[in-house]
Amino acid sequence: MFNRLPLACMTLAVAITATAQDYPTRTVTMVVPYAAGGPTDTVARVLAQAMTKPMGQTVVVENKPSAGGILGPEQVKNAKPDGYTILIHHIGMATIPALYRQLRFNPLTDFEYIGLVNDVPMTIIGKPALPANNLKELLAYIKANKDKVTYANAGIGAASHLCGMLFMSAIGTDVLTVPYKGTGPAMNDLLGGQVDFMCDQTTSTTGQIKGGKVKVYGLTSKQRVASLPDVPTLDEQGLKGAEVGIWHALYAPKGTPKPVIDKLVAAMQEALRDEGVRKRYTDLGAVTFPPDKQTPQALEQHLKAELNKWAPIIKKAGVYAD
Ligand code: ASP
């Protein structure tokens, strides 16, 4: 009995290694923590499609929408750590922990890191019928109508929540916030005139801005973006303190074997070298991280630095969810 145990363990170890080495033999699911049609979904779909070739298997996107994007990470944390379920998330992985008193996942201990994908600026946009035509007019309009103006976001912990929090603190005025389970549905309501304004990634707003479907008041980046050359930054218009970039990254459940993670890293890197992917991201205002950041180590460092950066800012704002 005692002699057989190590042999059984060895057999199991060999079986797991062999499975990891054969990986992948079937479809891989990339979980998106927000609704379809939104910016995170767009970044994910471009990447998933481009990873299909180097993976040799289809990579499909599965939306797990929830306000704040908190259910997607939980689903992936609880998935089998075999590489067939992975997570794409954004800056929310660094802001959610400071905002939720009861969170059922820990970004630092429940995941294996794959790498950083891209960084996307946000835009302050308004419904077509909003009377304000520029930032100055928007600020005057908000101040004069602060009891009836509505701001749409994707729930506490979302990038749009973070941006709204910074924006309202920078202008010294709070307005009524309407939460959605992603900014895809929020954009539909903005276009329909049910909400007044929002802050969303250029990956979702570029088409609407270029098509003249929404009003635009400024970018949250330090510099203008090539895809929207006429849109000024908030900073250059004198509004300081609302600067934020939305970075995206890939994760796998804790305990996913190293050979599997290595394959996922290689496939992500190959996808991000693809000219079509780079062009698509650039056209949407996204900046792909350089190759030395497309690694598990760089993601771990970045996540830790971002957690440390945002925790005191969020604490100062005094916002919490249960
Ligand atoms: N833009 C959303 C956010 O505010 C997420 C999304 O719908 O992709 O985080």
Mind listing the pLDDT tens digit for each residue in 180-233? 999 999 999 999 999 999 999 999 999 999 999 999 999 999 999 999 999 999
**Which residues have any ligand 1 atom within 6 Å of their CB?**
34-35, 38-41, 92, 153-154, 158-160, 182-184, 200-201
The span from the CA of 116 to the CA of 100, in Å, is 24
Cα 205 to averaged position of ligand 1 atoms, centre (Å):
11
Q: How confident is the model at residue 2 (pLDDT cuts 50, 70, 90)?
A: very low
Cα 9 to averaged position of ligand 1 atoms, centre (Å):
45
Contact by Cβ (8 Å): 201, 117: no
pLDDT for 314: 84
The span from the CA of 83 to the CA of 29, in Å, is 9
Which is the closest atom of ligand 1 to the Cα of 40? 8
Cα 109 to averaged position of ligand 1 atoms, centre (Å):
24
Cα 15 to averaged position of ligand 1 atoms, centre (Å):
40
pLDDT tens-digit series, residues 48-67 = 999 999 999 999 999 999 99
Q: How confident is the model at residue 18 (pLDDT cuts 50, 70, 90)?
A: low
Which is the closest atom of ligand 1 to the Cα of 65? 7
Cα 96 to averaged position of ligand 1 atoms, centre (Å):
13
pLDDT for 102: 86
Q: How confident is the model at residue 1 (pLDDT cuts 50, 70, 90)?
A: very low
Dihedral of alpha carbons 215, 218, 221, 223, sign? positive
Higher pLDDT, 313 or 181: 181
pLDDT for 322: 62
The span from the CA of 241 to the CA of 61, in Å, is 34
Cα 153 to averaged position of ligand 1 atoms, centre (Å):
8
The span from the CA of 158 to the CA of 66, in Å, is 10
**Which protein residue's CA is at the shortest distance from atom 5 of ligand 1?**
182
pTM for the full predicted model: 0.92
Which is the closest atom of ligand 1 to the Cα of 153? 4
pLDDT tens-digit series, residues 244-293 = 999 999 999 999 999 999 999 999 999 999 999 999 999 999 999 999 99
Contact by Cβ (8 Å): 248, 106: no
Backbone angles phi, psi at 118, to 5 degrees: -155, 170
pLDDT for 292: 98
CA distances from 275 to 118, 267, 278 (A): 15, 15, 5
pLDDT for 320: 67
Percent of the chain with pLDDT strictly greater than 90: 86
Contact by Cβ (8 Å): 111, 252: yes
